[in-house]
Structure formats: structure tokens, C-alpha cells
Amino acid sequence: MRPEAIHAAFTRHALRTPNAPAVIDGATRLTYAELDRASGGHAAALAARGAGPGRVVPVVLPRGARLIAVLLGVLKTGAAYAALDRRWPSPRREAIIASLDAPVVVGEDWDAAPAGFTGPEVDPSRPASVFFTSGSTGEPKGVVSPHRGTTRLTIGDYADFATGMLQAAPVAWDAYSIETWGPLTSGGTVIVAATDYLMPGDLRAAIAAGADTAFLTTALFNLFTGADPGCFTGLRQLMTGGETASAAVFRAFLDAHPGIALIHCYGPVEATGYTTAHRVTPADVGEDVPIGRPVPETGVLLLDGDRPVAPGETGEICVTGTGLAIGYLGRPDLTVAAFGVHAGERMYRTGDRGRFDADGVLHFAGRADRQVKVAGHRVEPGEVEAAARALDGVRDAAVVPVPGDGGYAHLALFYLGEADPRALRRALGERLPRYLVPARVHRMTAFPRTPNGKLDREALLGGAA
């Protein structure tokens, strides 16, 4: 089976099982037929406002059944959507919306009555969504993802998406697509989390509502396994990934829940969702936890420059296949720099390093550059530095990620200038998403330097606790 357009796959299931549950959002329950009608109404209203092929529609709504219906409506028009987190500082949202040159912006005041709509046929290689990630220049980068990037994930046997899947990821993440379109293009049900900040009790409530599959970032997986391992009871599958895994935490989970399929996933947003996946067994957990084999229609190369490394050697993880992003929105320079060609095939260089074991299973071996993941969010420390340098009373700034259990716990900011540390952190909170705001802010009289005159980040890290 080949990947389809997201809304085409959904419609196929709506015709086949119209009365099956599609979305459970607290007291709101929509069947496939009801969601199909509601999304058609949104599509008709959006098309009347100019949404269609070649356009991107920003959507600023809280998670829930209404958001899903709107996003499905956007896709039915042939347009792509950019789901923006309403909790982001308004200047960030407004700058992103302005960059999209959108014909319509969907916010809380949006309304559309159910109506019939017949949209254009959409090739699965066309844009479906735009995900904004941290950028080293201080400007968010918009990653344009194709329909097939998401629908390819559901055609393999590494996981079952025809299931009740918890939707808890922030709406602006590519994980949101997996949690929403994974089940809705497979005949499953989306179980919407009741809160924006998932805790063990919220997971228990979702399981009671019908969720038997969930995705948790590595940080949440570590937290839940340590604090309340019983909260997973009732799940059939648990997917986790996003940061370096802790072998000890995986071992503890498997000991406590041998009947739950634990799937370790890896992949940058430029490759849409997962690049590799692996069902972890106790025998897999040694000094590290493997990140697996490529998911359907995806390839992985390990390169040293342009040279493939020998089996067992470490190289940069490079991704090929139909899941690759179309590029960075409005930034052909960045697209050319990040996406290349190897042996005649388009490829994305992740900046991550890895190695294949004797069985051909991929293991993660760290980052090749400064980009890191903190609590599941991909972070460019340079974006935070640029935001700090733009503030009054800051002459220079340096950000270092502070290691935690199995990954990075938080960011620490060091700066030169007269600004008060607490006022500086508040100012950053007004300009940056929560995950980019440093947990620690330190004023310094001078930065430590290496013998060759470069900033000594290791020395800074020693004072970041």
C-alpha cells in the first residue's frame, strides 16, 4: 500500500465505517461521519476565504475535536496548515502569521456550519503542514511536511495505529500529526488529553476513556516510570523518543509492564515523525537502547562527509525516502544547505551520529553540532542567545544545555551586561516559548575562553547547576 493524502485516507475510513468513533474529547464524541461533515463545513468556509492549493492556513486553537475538524477542513481544500500554539508569546505568533501571507487565519472566533464540499484531488507529495522549529539565527524555521510523510508511518507493522491513541503532544509538534492522523487514517480513535501538561493521572484518565496507545517524550517517559509506574496499566502500546534514552528507565518499565509493547522511536521533524522504530525487549537494553530500523519508505545512511562508514563505525545519520520535508518555508538557502543528494537520492543530514550493530539495528551516538533536545523540544541555543542579545542591558550571551537523566534537563543562560537576571528571564518569557526560556540565568563579568580564544562552553557548564 502506498501513502495517501491525509484527508483521502480519512475519507476512505469515513465511508467504510461511518459510525465508528473518530474523536473522544471529554464529553464530545464524534463518529467518522460526523467529523467528515464538520470538516467539510470548515473546508467550504475556508475555500470561500481563499484557502486552496499553494496556500498555508495558520490555525490558533486549543487541542480538541474542533481543532481536528478545522485542520482536516484545511487539508480538504488542498491547502496546508500551520497549527500554532496559543501559549506562545503573541509577538512570535504574529511574526509567523505575517510570514505565511495567509488568505485566512483561524482563531477562537472562527465558525463554520456543516456543508458539503468537494475539493481538489491532492497528490500525497504536496504540502500538508508546516512545523516551526527553533532557529539558530533567532528566527523560527518553518518545516514544510508532505501528506505522505505522515501517512507512510501507518503502513508498516512496527506499531498498530488502528487503535485508541492519546493526543497529548503540543499542537505545533510533528508528534501531534502522529497522534491525530495516525489513528484517523487507520480507522482508529483519537483520545484528546484533558490538559496541556500531561501528568500520570491524566494518562490514567485517558486510558479509562479508551486510550490503549500513547506517545511520550523521553522526559515524560522517564518521569512517569520513576514517579508512578502503575499509570501505564491498561496500555497495549507505548511509543517514546525525542532524547537520548536511559537504559535503566527502559529496564524498569519492561520489568513492570512486560505485556505492553514498548516502541523506541527516532526522527527529526525534517523527516516527518519517525525515521526509525524498534520494539524494545529486555535483551535489547545494554549500555544504550537501540533506535531501530527505518520505518516504511524511509532509508538511513551513515556518512563521514560524503563517504559511507564501514559496518560498526559511527557516522552522521542521513535520511532518505518519501517522508522527507519539502524544505524550509521561504528559505531556499537553508533548504539547499540541509537537504543534499547522495548516490542520486535526496537526503537530509540530521547532525546526529549513530552506528549500526551486527544485526543492522541503529544506535544513537550523540549530536554533531549544538542542536539539542530539552524535554522533547528541539532547541537551537543560538535562538535563545539571539533573543537575549536583543534585550537592553545585555552585551553578550551564551546558552548551554545542562545534562539530566538520559538527556538534557534544562538550559542555562550566561550573559555580560547590567540587566537583572530575574528581569532578563521574565523578558525572555515574554518573547520565547516556555521550552526555550532558560531555567538558570547567570550574570558574569567575563566569559571563559579556550587557549585558542573561543568561548569555553565546558567551563560555563561547570557553573550551570
User: Which pLDDT score is estimated for 358?
Assistant: 92
Residues 286 and 330 in one domain: yes
Residues 338 and 387 in one domain: no
Residues 407 and 314 in one domain: no
Residue after which a domain boundary falls, among 335, 366, 397: 366
Q: Encode the chain (465 residues) as per-residue pLDDT tens digits.
A: 789 999 999 999 999 999 999 999 999 999 999 999 999 999 999 999 999 999 999 999 999 999 999 999 999 999 999 999 998 999 999 999 999 999 999 999 998 887 888 899 999 999 999 999 876 566 789 999 999 999 999 998 999 999 999 999 999 999 999 999 999 999 999 999 999 989 999 999 999 999 999 999 888 898 899 999 999 999 999 999 988 788 889 999 999 999 999 999 999 999 999 999 999 999 999 888 999 999 999 999 999 999 999 989 999 999 999 999 999 999 999 999 999 999 999 999 999 999 999 999 999 988 777 778 887 788 888 889 888 988 989 988 999 999 887 678 899 999 999 999 999 999 999 999 999 999 999 999 988 876 656 688 889 988 765
Please choose, from the candidates 421, 283, 420, the residue with its C-alpha nearest in 3D space to the C-alpha of residue 412. Answer: 421
Tell me whether residue 375 is in a domain.
Answer: no
User: Which pLDDT score is estimated for 113?
Assistant: 80
Residues 69 and 121 in one domain: yes
Identify the burial level of 23 via C-beta atoms within 10 angstroms of its C-beta, where 0-12 means exposed, 13-18 middle and 19 or more buried.
Answer: buried
Tell me whether residue 348 is in a domain.
Answer: yes
User: Which pLDDT score is estimated for 280?
Assistant: 97
CB 169 within 8 A of CB 265: no
Residue after which a domain boundary falls, among 366, 401, 418: 366
Residues 230 and 301 in one domain: yes
Read off the CATH number of the domain in which 451 is found: 3.30.300.30
Tell me whether residue 373 is in a domain.
Answer: no
- H helices of 17-89, in order, are 32-48, 65-76
Give residue 30's domain range. 6-366
Tell me whether residue 454 is in a domain.
Answer: yes
Domain count for the chain, please give it. 2
User: Which pLDDT score is estimated for 90?
Assistant: 92
Kindly list the distances between the CA atom of residue 43 and the CA atoms of 71, 96, 177, 179, in Å, as whole numbers in the listed order.
9, 22, 19, 22
Written as one letter, the residue type at 231 is C
* Rounded Cα distance, 321 and 317, in Å: 13
Q: Could you give the dihedral angle defined by the CA atoms of residues 153, 155, 157 and 160, in that order, rounded to the nearest 10 degrees? A: 70
Read off the CATH number of the domain in which 307 is found: 3.40.50.12780
Kindly list the distances between the CA atom of residue 380 and the CA atoms of 176, 186, 233, 351, in Å, as whole numbers in the listed order.
21, 34, 36, 12
Residues 18 and 150 in one domain: yes
Element at 400 (helix H, strand E): strand 396-404
Tell me whether residue 217 is in a domain.
Answer: yes
Please choose, from the candidates 149, 18, 128, 14, the residue with its C-alpha nearest in 3D space to the C-alpha of residue 77. Answer: 128
User: Which pLDDT score is estimated for 452?
Assistant: 57
Residues 18 and 151 in one domain: yes
What phi and psi, each to the nearest 5 degrees, are found at residue 82? -125, 100
Residues 217 and 323 in one domain: yes
What phi and psi, each to the nearest 5 degrees, are found at residue 320? -125, 175
Residues 93 and 162 in one domain: yes
Residues 410 and 272 in one domain: no
Tell me whether residue 206 is in a domain.
Answer: yes
Residue with cell 464524541: 29
Residues 411 and 342 in one domain: no
Tell me whether residue 393 is in a domain.
Answer: yes
Residue after which a domain boundary falls, among 366, 389, 404: 366
Residues 231 and 158 in one domain: yes
Kindly list the distances between the CA atom of residue 197 and the CA atoms of 64, 83, 178, 264, in Å, as whole numbers in the listed order.
14, 18, 18, 22
Tell me whether residue 21 is in a domain.
Answer: yes
C-alpha cell at 314: 559511527
